[in-house]
Chains A and B, each alone.
Chain A
């Protein structure tokens, strides 16, 4: 039918269009509504992620920081932040939740349609604060802004603001009299809020920021927290003043059952084997009566604190602690005594059986031991020496203003054999020549010092040996060169004063060392004093001693240096602080040698007038090798004449010249 064909075509078309239209609308609506929802969801997810990341970044930053997040326009939502979760609620019942990882220690927060979020981290609280505004520090808006911490400003609203709990350290500086409870906590906030500490009040907080600071009031919470051996923060104002009484000039803290141990002396409290848990309190002028009788807690302010007394060993007890409470631990038996005389042990110098430590050399015979403990056998008998007690120095001889030579100037009473000071010197050295040599070699104060002022007036007076020895034994300074006189002519002297008086110069030292050797028992043939007149030793006096094989088996008389060197001569130079072999030194113009037995003059090539010759004593190298007739000695132009004393004695050959009758 013709009409029916047209109808079905149009209907088909219409139906097709309708279906297409419906499908299109459905699909588009589905797609776009889903997309719309999806768009919102992804926007809020992204926002949640951004805020969470910002919070974590802030928490992970050193120092104060603030970050601002601007919310895209047109978003309406509610933001809740609590317990590491960020919940964004939008629409009727849609929500997005993200978690962040850090501990923010603030909140919970709830914001409705925020435009901006400000995230602030403060170091003092170690917390992160979030607010729904732009980041700004406004000190006049009556709202506490943590941003002010970041900008180093004080926002007074933060002081004691319970809602935020922010500790602003700049307010503490600006308002020193105010107590900001936000800064006064049981953990470090960087601020010591001493105004928050009330006398006689407990608030449960012992602020670690106030540790060690004197603030005028004792925090009872710290006092309560650290009693009876418990150590921790020190409040130097504890115990409280109200607990202190004065009795017999000593301040005491009344007994309350707590021995406050917050403030300890960490050096003194090092555990020992005998006292593994001992604590020593700091000296604060107050004796804590609760500590006084404690075995393990020493309060140094308590006059009779048991624990403190245990620090030093008591009299007549064996000293195991480092001190003997004003007494001395005798090295012989380690018992603490006032002195060690009478304990039957002979405490000698180091190296001997009960040797004293270094520094006790001159004390032993006065304080800490005595001859009755040491027995007579240890002190050898002392033979008095020969009659010659003079020592020499050399003076220049001038003719018409020109120096033509030297002559010895003799001073009697200088050499002192068996003098009491010499014997004391040897007592301290165990009558052992090796100990004597140690002293000669030692640096001051053990060794000999040099009085530069004496050198100028060298020959006016030589000192008796005992005097020189005593002065050197008592010389405690480290200055080698000193001056006894205030007008010191020598700027090498590093000390000018009376302690220097008597220490002497080379000629004094030489007569002292000779006295020591002879008193010790070195035979007269083996020990002499001499003076290098013009040779390479530069007008210098010293002592020479022979490594005589006869001495090898005599105790205390054989120097270790002589081992393998029998018959060699030693040079003992107390001024130069050395002992060496004479042939190794440059001293070779020694006109005469002398000791308490007499003079020994030149023995080689004596001239016909019997008054001059060469300085070659027997057995001594001259000028380089062992040949006494070496030309070096012959070449010397020094008028090394035989001393007048010798000449008067009329000894023709001049080999040796001994005072008659000796």
Chain B
């Protein structure tokens, strides 16, 4: 009986140990995945806050620079710069606050004391974002600002940002970043891998890279591209070079 007992117990113990170890391994892997996810969310929150701060406070973006004191006032936006930005960057993020990892669109809304008065709105940034399986995560956040018309006319407002992390944004960001490096002579050639859940197509006339089948999401590119459309979703490796002002993507 003693021998029979050990025949049964030891294998069972062995199996249980293996099962426990496998469980440990899978938990750790799950933790790792959750960590990655949390890290991305962190990144999103951090970036959205930073972009709002840059838009509202950087002289290169919207901040008002007083000629008298030759300094910058915090969170005061010059309405002239705002109008110019809304006109120049209707469909793409302005370079002063562009982040190549993400796509975003910002909206500035004036606040009036009388809620019945229609508020002025200005909007600029990317017009489309990744959808469906190409979409990873997003965030909507805002920050209060003051909109300066003149010394005696400074009105409250809010700046809202919608920031998206998705495949289209990542791909377009990588291409635009490469374009900037090529333009500044930092690179001769580069390559990187992409994953796309949708076919990708490029429209030369509008210089837009689009993702999707029936309903496409498109982004305006920094450089014109010489690229063949990708018809099927999947993983690809692109080799990029620069020729006569265009990115050649193979």
By a beta-carbon cutoff of 8 Å, the part of chain A in contact with chain B is 5, 9, 12-13, 16, 19-20, 23-24, 27, 30-31, 34-35, 38, 42, 45, 49, 52-53, 56-57, 59-63, 82-85, 98-103, 108, 123, 126, 188, 190
Min CB gap B104→A, angstroms:
9
Given A99-B100, A102-B54, A103-B60; A49-B43 close (CB under 8 Å):
yes
| 15 more A-B residue pairs beyond the given contacts A23-B17, A101-B97, A101-B98, with a C-beta to C-beta distance below 8 A | A27-B24, A30-B25, A38-B32, A59-B58, A60-B54, A84-B99, A85-B100, A99-B99, A99-B101, A100-B99, A101-B47, A101-B54, A103-B96, A123-B71, A190-B70
Check B248 for interface membership: any CB of A closer than 8 A: no
Number of cross-chain contacts by CB at 8 Å: 110
A108, B50: Cβ atoms closer than 8 Å: no
A62, B99: Cβ atoms closer than 8 Å: no
By a beta-carbon cutoff of 8 Å, the part of chain B in contact with chain A is 3, 6-7, 10-11, 14, 17-18, 21-22, 24-25, 28, 32, 35, 39, 42-43, 46-47, 50-51, 53-54, 56-60, 63, 70-74, 95-101, 173, 177, 180-181, 184, 186
In the bound complex, what is the Cα–Cα distance between A11 and B7 (angstroms)? Answer: 12
Q: Which residue of B lies closest to A32 (CB)?
A: B28
Q: Which residue of B lies closest to A16 (CB)?
A: B14
Chain B binding surface, main DSSP class: helix
A83, B54: Cβ atoms closer than 8 Å: no
Q: Could you list 15 A-B pairs, sorted by A, with CB under 8 Å? A: A9-B6, A16-B11, A16-B14, A24-B21, A27-B22, A34-B28, A49-B42, A63-B71, A82-B186, A84-B98, A84-B177, A99-B99, A101-B50, A102-B58, A103-B60
A59, B177: Cβ atoms closer than 8 Å: no
Min CB gap A257→B, angstroms:
33
Q: Which residues of A contact B72 (CB under 8 A)?
A: 62-63, 123
Which of B50, B58, B96, B181 sits near A82, CB closer than 8 Å? B181
In the bound complex, what is the Cα–Cα distance between A42 and B43 (angstroms)? Answer: 12
Q: Which residues of B contact A83 (CB under 8 A)?
A: 177, 180-181, 184, 186
In the bound complex, what is the Cα–Cα distance between A98 and B59 (angstroms)? Answer: 24
In the bound complex, what is the Cα–Cα distance between A45 and B46 (angstroms)? Answer: 13
In the bound complex, what is the Cα–Cα distance between A48 and B37 (angstroms)? Answer: 17
Given A101-B54, A126-B60; A12-B10 close (CB under 8 Å):
yes
Q: Which residues of A contact B54 (CB under 8 A)?
A: 56, 59-60, 101-102
Q: Which residue of A lies closest to B76 (CB)?
A: A62
A49, B46: Cβ atoms closer than 8 Å: yes
Q: Which residue of A lies closest to B178 (CB)?
A: A83
Q: Which residue of B lies closest to A61 (CB)?
A: B57
In the bound complex, what is the Cα–Cα distance between A101 and B10 (angstroms)? Answer: 60
In the bound complex, what is the Cα–Cα distance between A57 and B63 (angstroms)? Answer: 14
Given A20-B17, A60-B50; A99-B173 close (CB under 8 Å):
yes
In the bound complex, what is the Cα–Cα distance between A82 and B59 (angstroms)? Answer: 21
In the bound complex, what is the Cα–Cα distance between A27 and B22 (angstroms)? Answer: 8
For A82, A103, A123, the residue with the greatest tally of chain B CB atoms inside 10 Å of its CB is A103
In the bound complex, what is the Cα–Cα distance between A82 and B186 (angstroms)? Answer: 9
In the bound complex, what is the Cα–Cα distance between A45 and B184 (angstroms)? Answer: 26
Min CB gap B77→A, angstroms:
13
In the bound complex, what is the Cα–Cα distance between A102 and B46 (angstroms)? Answer: 13
A35, B28: Cβ atoms closer than 8 Å: yes
Min CB gap A28→B, angstroms:
9
Q: Which residues of B contact A35 (CB under 8 A)?
A: 28
Which of A16, A52, A98, A102 sits near B97, CB closer than 8 Å? A102
Q: Which residues of B contact A100 (CB under 8 A)?
A: 50, 99
Given A9-B3, A99-B100, A102-B58; A85-B35 close (CB under 8 Å):
no
B74, A62: Cβ atoms closer than 8 Å: yes
Min CB gap B170→A, angstroms:
11
In the bound complex, what is the Cα–Cα distance between A35 and B35 (angstroms)? Answer: 12
In the bound complex, what is the Cα–Cα distance between A23 and B98 (angstroms)? Answer: 49
